Structure 1
Amino acid sequence: MALLTEAIILGLLTGSVYALMASGLTLIFGVMDIINVAQGIFVVLGAYLSYILEQHLHIDLFLGLFITMPFMFFLGIGIEWAFIRRIRQNRVMLSLLVTYAISLVIEGLLNFFFTASTVRLNASYVDASFPVFGFYISYMYLFTAVMSIALLAALYFVIYRTRFGYSMRAAMQNRTAAMLIGINVERVSGITFGLGVALTAAGGMAFGATNAFNAASSYDLISRLLVIIVLGGMGSLRGSMVASLFMLVIGAVTDVLWSPVWSSTVFFVLLVILLIFRPQGLFGKVEGRKQ
């Protein structure tokens, strides 16, 4: 029973981090109608940036986010302007090819500079833990969960309580109508892409502090994130958050009750079962959006 409780708590803590990473992917799809398959490598890039700051400049992992998140934000804006904005037709298919190419380029650069050896972020509190119900929880899991919740709350504030958020939601509903009422959809798209990529800096730091990683880690990450946003409903922030918590708890419980070998497989099995009965996902809409 203690092991099961531990698995559920760890699943919830880890799920909050995945919710942060998936929310960026969902936001980009919701506003821009593109699937950013480079999101996984952006997470790994964020982890490596935190690694550089911590190892070479001795900057605390959380303080380093004040450097890595703005860097990733402007990187995202630059990538959107240089590559994504040029896509005028067949946006979904071409965005897959473009973002996959970007992912390959970044992966190659990371392998060149850091080799294929795995690394992990270190800090005095990374391996420290505290007792809960007879077992120990790492402080890092708790800190990253609190950070993720705080950033998600800030994201919700931006979307629902700011003028830019109103423009963003208008673009999510109907890009053409948003342009007709005077919203600069290209500007909104660029900032949205930047925000989605900036969130990977925080997600990457959390991932790198709790897992050994290298450039190839992006493949497992993007596969999980895509499952999460499809399960939650394409374009639904609430759905991506609920799906993240659900999938990570199920995976952690599978580790305990069955075998760690099957924890990743459960992601895809549950997705297939759900899509049979609810093709639009947990919180997705049945009807397609107008363009």
Structure 2
Amino acid sequence: MHLFVQATIVGILIGGVYALLAGGQAMIFGVTRTVNFAQAIFAIMCSYLSYTLFQDFGLDPFLSVLVLVPAMFVFGSAIHIVLLRRLSRSGAELSLLVLFALGIGIQGVLDFFYKTDTRVIATSYANDSWTVLGYQVPAVRFFAFLLAVAVLGALHLIRQHTKFGRALRATTQNPDAARLLGVDVERVSAIAMGLGVAAAGAAGAVFGMVIPFSGNSQLDLLNKLLAIGVLGGMASFPGTIVAAVILGVIESVVAVNISPDWSSFSFLVVLFAVLTFRPQGLFGQRLRGAA
């Protein structure tokens, strides 16, 4: 029981980082109806940038969030304006392929500059932990979890308590109706894309402190994001957060009680099971116009 509870604690903490990535993914899908296949590589790219800022300039990875989040917001908005806005008129499938190709291209650039060696951001407090009621709480994962909660909380406030948030929710529910009500859907979509990619930037800044990474890590991370999206409902912002924590716990418990080699596979098991019995996800709803 002690080992199970310890694994659950660790799983909840890493689930927070997954939730940050998946929450950004859900925001993007909600307004574009396109799965951002580049979300994982955006996070890995920011892990590399955080690594460089730490190694070369001595900037703590948690402080690098202040640099990477604004930069990724601009980057994400530019992607929508330059690429997706025109392609969306031809259907979401073409946008999906472009994002997938963009992800592959970014991975190639990262492999060129950083090679394919696995890296980790090793700060002076990387191995620190606290003992609470007999259980170990890793400091890095705890602070990463707090960062995820802070960013997700900010996104929630934007969605629920701002004029832009009302426009965002209207666009997510029915873009055509939102246009008739005077919402600038293209502008809302560009900002939402920026916010979603910025969330990946925040997660990526600290991801390299929690898990060793390389360019190829995007494939494993993308599989996890897809499983989280399916479980939580691709367009459900709260659902993906809950699903990310659930799957983070499952991953950790499987790694401890069975084998680390099977931990990532647990995401795929959940993915296939949910697709079989509830394709819209446990927390999602069928999109308007779906059969």
The verdict on a shared fold, with TM-score over 0.5 as the criterion, is yes
Q: Which residue of 1 aligns with 2:213?
A: 213
Query: How far does the alpha carbon of each residue in 1:210-234 deviate from its partner, in whole angstroms, 9 at most, with x for none?
Result: 1111111111111100110111112
Query: How far does the alpha carbon of each residue in 1:223-265 deviate from its partner, in whole angstroms, 9 at most, with x for none?
Result: 1001101111120011101110111111111112222221111
Query: How far does the alpha carbon of each residue in 1:11-65 deviate from its partner, in whole angstroms, 9 at most, with x for none?
Result: 1111011001000011000011111100010000111111111111111211111
Q: Which residue of 2 aligns with 1:286?
A: 286
1:29 aligns with 2:29: yes
1:95 aligns with 2:95: yes
Alignment of 1:141-160 (within 5 A): 141-160=141-160
Q: Which residue of 2 aligns with 1:71?
A: 71
Distance 2:205 2:91 in 1: 31
Verify the 8 A CA contact 2:19 2:240 in the aligned structure 1.
yes
Q: Which residue of 1 aligns with 2:269?
A: 269
- 1:135 offset after TM fit, Å? 4.1
- 1:287 offset after TM fit, Å? 5.1
Matched-pair identity in %: 42
Q: Which residue of 1 aligns with 2:138?
A: 138
Verify the 8 A CA contact 2:126 2:140 in the aligned structure 1.
yes
- SS of the aligned residue for 1:64 comes to helix
Q: Which residue of 2 aligns with 1:230?
A: 230
Flag as ranges the 4+ runs of structure 1 deviating above 6 A. none
Q: Which residue of 2 aligns with 1:48?
A: 48
Distance 2:2 2:90 in 1: 51
Distance 1:58 1:111 in 2: 23
Distance 2:228 2:116 in 1: 27
Distance 1:130 1:88 in 2: 49
- SS of the aligned residue for 1:83 comes to helix
Q: For the aligned residues, what is the CA RMSD?
A: 1.4
Distance 2:263 2:88 in 1: 40
Q: Which residue of 2 aligns with 1:117?
A: 117
Query: How far does the alpha carbon of each residue in 1:138-162 deviate from its partner, in whole angstroms, 9 at most, with x for none?
Result: 1001000011011111100000000
Q: Which residue of 1 aligns with 2:39?
A: 39
Query: How far does the alpha carbon of each residue in 1:47-105 deviate from its partner, in whole angstroms, 9 at most, with x for none?
Result: 11111111111112111111111111111111111111111345321122100111111
Alpha-carbon distance change, 46 to 287 in structure 1, aligned in 2, over 3 angstroms: closer
- SS of the aligned residue for 2:63 comes to coil
Verify the 8 A CA contact 1:50 1:61 in the aligned structure 2.
yes
Alpha-carbon distance change, 122 to 21 in structure 1, aligned in 2, over 3 angstroms: same
- 1:289 offset after TM fit, Å? 4.9
Verify the 8 A CA contact 2:37 2:96 in the aligned structure 1.
yes
Verify the 8 A CA contact 1:2 1:133 in the aligned structure 2.
no
Q: Which residue of 1 aligns with 2:252?
A: 252
Structure 1: gaps spanning 5 or more residues: none
Verify the 8 A CA contact 2:230 2:281 in the aligned structure 1.
yes
- In the comparison of the two structures, how many residue pairs are matched? 290
Verify the 8 A CA contact 2:168 2:188 in the aligned structure 1.
yes
Verify the 8 A CA contact 2:31 2:192 in the aligned structure 1.
yes
Verify the 8 A CA contact 1:174 1:289 in the aligned structure 2.
no
Distance 2:236 2:51 in 1: 32
Distance 1:73 1:158 in 2: 15
- The amino acid that maps onto 1:267 is F
Question: Which deviates more, 14-23 or 133-142?
Answer: 133-142
Distance 2:107 2:275 in 1: 31
Distance 2:152 2:287 in 1: 27
Distance 1:164 1:289 in 2: 25
Give the TM-score of the pair, scaled to structure 2: 0.96
- SS of the aligned residue for 1:229 comes to helix
- 1:130 offset after TM fit, Å? 1.4
Structure 2: gaps spanning 5 or more residues: none
Distance 2:166 2:22 in 1: 21
- The amino acid that maps onto 1:265 is F
